[in-house]
Structure 1
Amino acid sequence: MAFVPPPGYQPIYNPSIPYSGPIFGGVRPGMSIYVQGYIPQDTNRWFNINFACGQEEGSDIAFHFNPRFDGWDKVVFNSFQNNEWGDEEHKRDMPFSLDQNFELVFIVTPDYYQVNVNGQSYYQFNHRIPLERVEALQVAGNVMIQSINISGSRMAPGYEEALPVPSFPSGNLPWTPPSFNVLLQTMGGPAIYSPQREELLCIEKGVTLASRFLLVNGYVYTHTHTFHINLKASCNNDIALHINPRVSEGIVVRNSFLNGTWGEEERDLETNPFQPGQYFDLSVRCGNYRFKVFINGQPLFVYNHRLRPFEQVDTVEIEGDVAVSYVHV
């Protein structure tokens, strides 16, 4: 069971640093780049993430994002064009901590790059170089990267659907969210960042999960015991797939709730990939006969449909001791 990402979604897992890779189809408004990483304890230098106009050394850089740990901790923002750096912008409010995981989101708008760090709006960098020139993403320095998820890219010729610019709430991560429902939308719509109940109620109804991907990024607290992700039918509250990581027990339970009754649990997994203090990247593909579930790009389990017709599934319910930072369908 190989992980094949849906159109418009370009994941990179555990890249070697320095990293340089293409952004398929280039950059456009509505795209987002979601980065999960870790700052080593012994960092006394810097790392940077570049939106570059090519993968070759010396290429122009449309946006240079550069946290510096040098005793004068700050984050530097700049561009590089015609072999010269532009006017430097910086912010001394350092959002990264040593020996800590971080979550970083770059949201591309028509006028600027919006930077969110750990669920909080952090900075806006106005475009100095046209977006259509940006072709690659580069990461260098003293940092470890768990995943890079590029959402809204053109994964194949002809994938031309324009994306609306997503909205984003303020707030800190990790946070303790309430239980909530997400009415599913087609892939290519805006991603939802750090979702909250009041934001989710306005999502368009009438779309099912059939033949689509569900993408959920989150963080397992160090004290987490259990949480669950349910794929439901809003018409009768049946649960087609109940994914229940029981962190303290080291298992992931799968089940269905149909006609008011829980079915037989499935528990057979070699390991529990949901670990305390770790981020996760969960992908669920709904096919004609089964759900295929992946974690961080690796196969996790296959679950045969028990709910018929499975096209009734139109709602995601997430509840428990977990921080959800990103939802996309």
Structure 2
Amino acid sequence: MAFVPAPNYQCAYNPPIPYTTLIAGGLRPGMAVCIQAILPSKCNRFAINFATGEDESSDIALHMNARYDGRDRVVFNTRQGDVWGEEEMKKEMPFKSGKPFVAMFEVTPNNYLVSASGERFYEFGHRIPLCQVQWLQVTGDITVQALSIMGSGPAVKGNLVMSAAQAPLPPMLGPPFINPAVPFHASIRGGMFPKRTVVVKGMVKSNAKSFGINLKAGFSNDIIFHLNPRLNKSTVIRNHCINGVWGEEEKDLAKNPFKQGEYFDVSVRSGVNNFKVFINGSHSFNYASRMANMQQVDTVEVEGDVKLLFVLI
């Protein structure tokens, strides 16, 4: 069972390159785009474009072009009416050949804030109005493992382009928490009513022993769902803790998808009386809820040996 993203959230896993996708509702301040990728050992160049159209001749509001030619650099530019603007260049190269990385683009009213694997890298001012930016393009010598487009909130729901599978799902409320510190704690507005989704994306530290993702009932501080990958034991524990008493651990899982030094994303979707858990885009398991009223599950926590890239609620 593949993960179906909720409105205000778009994601793709291992898409073919070149890859072009519509940005549902268009680009707006408060949105963010996260691209997890790896480069071949011999890389010439790759590009990520925020464009006004889907074809190659469309205007490009942000062109990020990493070039590997002995003078490794990252070039930023725009193109309007087939004419390129003035290049802005960053001579540091955070995207290494043969290495996985994450590029994050945060959209503000004034610019694009670009991060590389959690570190701020560049700011590129808007030259083309955001309201004209409708498409995202990825081209060149790059393998995209996961791509996420995060919206800014329910106010834009009427403009979203939704698939039939997305239509019954409540929208992600956003805005996303970008590169938040660990331990992480946030409220889930309205609670985990049926079909509500929480997405956590991060990287397991290279020396990690374990980390945890908890969904809690804030009024009692009970842990209704505890996801605990234990890297030193190669197990993924699922449990709950009610009135200070832990339940019986669930361990059965065909394959541990969490590896030291690797990226992951976990999507937890509430059912009527359970949680459906998707890891890296694939359904991994369900966990029965010990709480009759799922809306009382209103808090998410992340702790342990992990670096967070984003949390979307």
Q: How many angstroms does 1:191 deviate by? A: 0.8
Q: CA RMSD in A?
A: 2.4
Distance apart, 1:251 and its partner CA? 2.1
SS of corresponding position for 2:70: coil
Offset at 1:276?
2.2
Equivalent position of 1:309 in the other structure? 293
Q: Following TM superposition, by how much is the alpha carbon of 1:128 offset from its aligned partner in structure 2, in angstroms?
A: 1.4
> 1:132 and 1:287 mapped to 2: Cα distance?
36
d(CA) in 2 for partners of 1:282 and 1:38? 20
2 CA distance for matches of 1:296 and 1:234? 28
Structure 1, unaligned runs of 5 or more: 162-185
**TM-score, length basis structure 2:** 0.89
Whether the 8 Å CA contact 1:187–1:328 is kept in 2: the answer is yes
Q: Quick one: distance in 2 between partners of 1:53 and 1:154?
A: 22
1:90-239 correspondence to structure 2 within 5 Å: 90-152=89-151, 158-160=157-159, 187-196=172-181, 207-211=190-194, 212-239=196-223
1:283 and 1:326 map into 2 onto residues whose CA distance is 12
Query: 1:5 — aligned with what?
Result: 5
Note if contact 2:34-2:147 (Cα within 8 Å) is conserved in structure 1: yes
Name the SS for the 2:237 alignment partner.
Answer: strand
Partner SS for 1:314: strand
- State TM-score, norm by structure 1: 0.85
Q: What is the distance in 1 between the residues matched to 2:118 and 2:312? A: 16
Q: 1:306 to 1:273 in 2, by over 3 A?
A: same
Unaligned residue ranges in structure 2 (runs of 5+): 161-170
Q: Matches of 2:265 and 2:81 in 1, distance apart?
A: 38
SS in 1 for 2:148: strand
1:262: how far off? 1.2
1:285 aligned residue (255, 269, 275): 269
Q: Deviations over 1:298-328 (max 9, x none)?
A: 1011111113433222222222211112111
Provide the residue aligned with 2:25 in structure 1: 25
Contact 1:26 1:133 (8 Å CA) reproduced: yes
Does 1:251 find its partner at 2:268?
no
* Aligned-residue offset at 1:206: 6.2
CA 1:95–1:158 in 2, change beyond 3 Å: closer, same or farther?
closer
> Could you tell me how far apart the structure 1 residues matched to 2:182 and 2:280 are?
26
Alignment partner of 1:77 is 2:80:
no
Tell me what 1:181 maps to. Answer: none
Aligned with 1:159: secondary structure? helix
Task: Indicate the residue corresponding to 2:37 in structure 1.
Answer: 37
Shift of 1:130: 1.8
Amino acid aligned to 1:90: M
Separation in structure 2 between the aligned mates of residue 4 and residue 18 of structure 1, nearest angstrom: 22
Give the distance between the partners of 2:182 and 2:283, measured in 1 at CA: 30
Kindly provide the CA deviation profile for residues 90-141 of structure 1, in whole angstroms up to 9, marking residues without a partner as x. 1112222232211111111122111111212221111112222212111111
Kindly provide the CA deviation profile for residues 244-283 of structure 1, in whole angstroms up to 9, marking residues without a partner as x: 1122333211111112211111122111111222111110
Give deviations 1:212-269, integer Å, cap 9, x for gaps.
Answer: 2111001112322221111112222211011111223332111111122111111221
Aligned twin of 2:47: 48
Structure 2: distance between partners of 1:230 and 1:158: 28
Out of 237, 252, 265, the residue aligned to residue 268 of structure 1 is 252
CA distance, structure 1, for counterparts of residue 125 and residue 250 of structure 2: 50
